[in-house]
Amino acid sequence: MTRLQLSLVLVATAILLAMPLVGGNYVLRLATIMLMYATLAMAWNFIGGFAGYPSFGLAAFFGLGAYAGGVVQSTGVSIALAWLAAVAVGTLFALVLGFILLRLRGSAFAIATLVVTEVLREVTNGWTGLTGGGMGLNLPFFGWSPSALSAFFFYAMLALTAVTFVTTFIVAHNRLGFGLTCIRQNEDAANIVGIDTTRYKIYAFTLSGGFAAATGGIYASWIGYIEPGDVYDVLFSIKPIVMVLLGGMGTVFGPIFGAVAFLVLDEVVWRSFLELNTGILGLLIVILILFLPAGLASFDVRSLWRRAVTP
Amino acid sequence: MTALLELRNVSRSFGGIHAIKNVSLTIEPGQILGLIGPNGAGKSTLVNVITGVHPASSGKILHKGDAIEHLKPFQISARGIARTFQVVQPFPGMTVVQNVMAGAMFAAGISSMAEARKVAMAHLAFTGLAPLAERPAQQLTLANRKRLELAKSLAMDPHILLLDEVNAGLNTTEVEQALDLIRSIAARGISIVIIEHLLKVVTGLCSRIIVLHHGELIADDPTAEVMRDPRVIEAYLGSRFAERQMVRP
C-alpha cells in the first residue's frame, strides 16, 4: 500500500468509526447501506473482477445468507450465531456450486448463475414450513432504542466491510490474486504455466459467496423482515457489478470507490429527476463505463492536471 | 535406464479423425530433437497430447518412469515439462515481467512474489527482454512475444521444453537470434523438442529428427539419415520428386 492509500484508509476508518457519534439515524442508515453495497461489490470482485468470471448470482448468496441467518435467529439463539450460520451456509453452497458451475465459461456461466438465484427464490417461496414462503419471515425484535439499533448494525456492517477489504488486500498481493488475474487474462495460458485453474476459480467463487451471504445475514437482522422477492432481487446481483465496473475490475480500492460513486450518483439523479431517475442513472453509467473502461481507476489526476496547465 | 520421456503407442483422435496414430518415441536428457512433418501431420497435436491439453485417447506417456497421460496441463508443467504455443499465448494486459513471474510462481513453485520477480528478471535478461520488463505484453512485436514465451517457459524451470514453431513469422535475422537463444537454452542441459517448418533450422540444431506424416511416425533417426530417407522426401515433396532423387545417386 502506498502512503497515500494508507492515509486514505486511516482517514476513512476514523470518519466511519466516529459516525454514530455525529450523524443521526438517517445518516447512519445511508452509511450502512453504503457499507453493505461496498461489501457486496468487493464480494463480486473476487470472482468477477479478479478471475473475470461474470457471475450474475450474487443475489443468490445474499438471499441465502439472509434466510439462513433469519431462520437460525428465529429459533432464539444469539445474533452472532445466526450470522455465523449465514456465512457457513453461503460458503458451503458456493463451494459446491462452484465445483459444478466453474466448468462453464463466459455467457454460459453467467446464465447458469442467474438461474441459480431464480431457483433459490422459488425454493424459498415453496418451503413455507421453514421460511414462511411468500409471507416472508419476521425476525425477533431486540427491544432496543432506534438509535442503539442503528449504531449496532452500522458497526456490524463496518466490521464486515473491514474484513472483506483486508481479505481483498491479502488476495490481491498473493499467489491467489496473481493466479486469478492470469486466469482473467488468458485461462489456457494460465493452466499451462502451472495454475490449477479450477481450484483457483472455486476459491474465488467461495470467497464471493461467503462474503455476500454474510452481508445478507446482517441485512436480515437489520431490516427485521425478509421475503423472497426482496432478498433474491436481481438488483443485488446487478448493482455490485456496475459498481465494480465503475471503480475498476480486480483492484483493491475500485469496488469501494465504485459503490460510493454509484450511490452518490443514484441519490443526486433521484433528487434532480424524480420521474426519469433510473433511465438517466443508467445512461450516465453506460457513458462512464464506455469512456473509462478501467473504471474510475483510469482517472489519472496528475496527467489531467498536466494537460490542463500546459498551453 | 528409464528415459526422460517415453511415449508408448500413443494415439489421439478427434471424432473420426486420427490426428496421432500409435506413436512411440523416447526423449533422452540433453538432446535437441527435431519434430517435422507436412501441415496437418499432427505435430502440434503431439505436443498437446504430451502436455495434457488434449489427453491421449490411448497409449502411455511416461515421464521418468511415471505415467502422466492422465494428468492435467498444470500438473504436467509442475513436473518440469514446459511448452510454447504456435500462436503465442501471453497474458496481454499484464507487464512482461509479470508474464514471466507467472511461470516462476506456479510451475516452479516460488511462493514469494519478490523472489519470483527476481527470477523473472534473470530470465528476461537471458532472453534480451529486460529493457521491456515493465511494458504490457500486448505492446510487444511478434519476435519479442516469441521471446516472452521462451522466457515464461524457462521461468517454469523445466527439464523438457517443447517449442511449437517458435520461428514462424520471424525474419531471417530474428530467426538467427532465436536459434542462438535455443542453443544457449540447450547448453543449460534442458532437453528440447523443436517443431519446425524450416529444414535449415532443424538440420542446424538437431542431432536427431522424428518425422510425422498423417499422424504416424515415419522416421526417427539421426538428422543426416532422415534427410536422405525416401519416405520423408516423399512426404514433403511428393512421390515424383522422391523417385527422381532415388534414381540419381
A72-111 per-position pLDDT tens digit: 998 888 889 999 999 999 999 999 999 999 988 888 899 9
| Cα separations in angstroms, B208 against A35, A122, B28, B222 | 65, 65, 11, 4
pLDDT at B231: 80
| B89·A192 Cβ contact <8 A | yes
Reply yes or no on whether the pLDDT at A154 is more than 90.
yes
Residue type at position B132: L
Stretch 163-182 of chain A: residues touching chain B, C-beta under 8 Å: 173-175, 178-179, 181-182
Q: What is the pLDDT along chain B (249 residues), one digit of tens a residue?
A: 578 888 998 889 888 888 888 889 898 888 889 888 888 888 889 999 999 999 888 889 999 888 898 999 999 999 999 998 888 889 998 999 999 999 999 988 888 889 999 999 999 998 889 999 899 999 998 888 988 999 999 999 999 999 988 887 788 888 888 888 888 888 888 999 998 877 777 888 888 888 888 888 887 878 778 777 888 777 776 666 666 655 544
Confirm if B107 and B153 have CB atoms less than 8 A apart: no
Q: What is the 3-state secondary structure (H, E, C) of B116-147?
A: HHHHHHHHHHHHCCHHHCCCEHHHCCHHHHHH
pLDDT at A303: 64
Confirm if A42 and A255 have CB atoms less than 8 A apart: yes
- The Cα–Cα gap between A151 and A37 comes to 18
DSSP H or E segment with residue B192: strand B191-195
Residues contacting residue B60 through CB under 8 Å, at least 6 positions apart: B6, B7, B8, B9, B10, B67, B69
Alpha-carbon gap: B85 to the closest alpha carbon of chain A (Å):
9
Residues contacting residue B139 through CB under 8 Å, at least 6 positions apart: none
Q: What is the dihedral of CA A112, A115, A119, A121, to 10 degrees?
A: 130
Provide the residue ranges of all domains of chain A, joining segments of one domain with +: 3-237
Chain A residues close to B51, C-beta within 8 Å: 192
Taking the whole predicted model, whether its pTM rises above 0.80 is answered as yes
- The Cα–Cα gap between A236 and A234 comes to 5
Nearest chain B residue to A183 by CA: give it.
B91
A47: which DSSP letter? I
Nearest chain B residue to A187 by CA: give it.
B91
Side-chain half-sphere exposure of B51, counting CA atoms within 13 A: 30
Alpha-carbon gap: A191 to the closest alpha carbon of chain B (Å):
5
pLDDT at A167: 96
| B94·A181 Cβ contact <8 A | yes
| A193·B101 Cβ contact <8 A | no
Cα angle: A4, vertex A7, A9; to 5 degrees = 110
Q: Is the dihedral of CA A3, A5, A10, A12 positive or negative?
A: positive
Given phi > 0 = left and psi -120 to 50 = alpha, else beta, which region is B15? left
B95: which DSSP letter? B
pLDDT tens-digit readout, A171-214: 999 999 999 999 999 998 999 999 999 999 999 999 999 999 99
Name the average pLDDT for chain A: 88
- Residue from B246, B164, B105 nearest A194 by CA: B105
pLDDT at B223: 78
pLDDT at B238: 67
B96–A contact, CB cutoff 8 A: no
- The Cα–Cα gap between B186 and B90 comes to 23
Q: Number of residue pairs across A and B with CB atoms under 8 Å?
A: 69
- The Cα–Cα gap between A55 and A48 comes to 6
pLDDT at A71: 92
Residue burial B194-208, b: 16+ Cβ < 10 Å; e: rest: bbbeeeebbbebbeb
Residue type at position B239: S
Q: Is the dihedral of CA B43, B45, B49, B50 positive or negative?
A: positive
User: Which domains, and CATH codes, for chain B?
Assistant: 1-80+158-249 (3.40.50.300), 89-157 (no CATH)
Burial class (CB within 10 angstroms; exposed 0-12, middle 13-18, buried 19+) of A187:
middle
Reply yes or no on whether the pLDDT at A256 is more than 80.
yes
Q: What is the ipTM of this complex?
A: 0.85
Nearest chain A residue to B152 by CA: give it.
A193
Nearest chain B residue to A180 by CA: give it.
B102
Radius of gyration (Cα) for chain A, nearest Å?
20
| B102·A190 Cβ contact <8 A | yes
Alpha-carbon gap: B41 to the closest alpha carbon of chain A (Å):
23
Q: Between A144 and A213, where is the model more confident?
A: A213
Q: What is the 3-state secondary structure (H, E, C) of B13-75?
A: EECCEEEEEEEEEEECCCCEEEEECCCCCCHHHHHHHHCCCCCCCEEEEEECCEECCCCCHHH
pLDDT at A39: 96
| A175·B89 Cβ contact <8 A | no
